[in-house]
């Protein structure tokens, strides 16, 4: 039960957004990363390795978060 009536329990009502980074192999040497919210793709790109794709996706996510903080 929600003990504070001013704080909604539903994250969407509270203005909370859940962004995630997904990485998937397209070919043996081509990896796709994407930043999304639910089913909405916000940004994507490609890299030559899984590690680089994860780094690029994380960097894109942090840039998006820093834009929202200003």
pLDDT along the chain (70 residues), means of 10: 57 76 97 95 97 98 83
Chain position carrying tokens 């942090």: 62
The pLDDT of residue 17 is: 81
The pLDDT of residue 29 is: 95
pTM beyond cutoff 0.85 = no
Chain position carrying tokens 């070919």: 27
The pLDDT of residue 54 is: 98
| CA 70/CA 55 separation, integer angstroms | 23
**Surface-to-core class of residue 36, CB atoms within 10 Å of its CB (0-12 exposed, 13-18 middle, 19+ buried):** middle
The pLDDT of residue 56 is: 98
């Amino acid at each position: 039960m929600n003990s504070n009536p001013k704080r909604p329990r539903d994250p969407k009502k509270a203005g909370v957004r859940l962004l995630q980074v997904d990485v998937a192999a397209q070919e043996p040497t081509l990896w796709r990363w994407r930043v999304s919210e639910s089913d909405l793709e916000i940004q994507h790109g490609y890299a030559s390795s899984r590690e680089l794709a994860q780094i690029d996706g994380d960097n894109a996510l942090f840039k998006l978060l820093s834009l929202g903080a200003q």
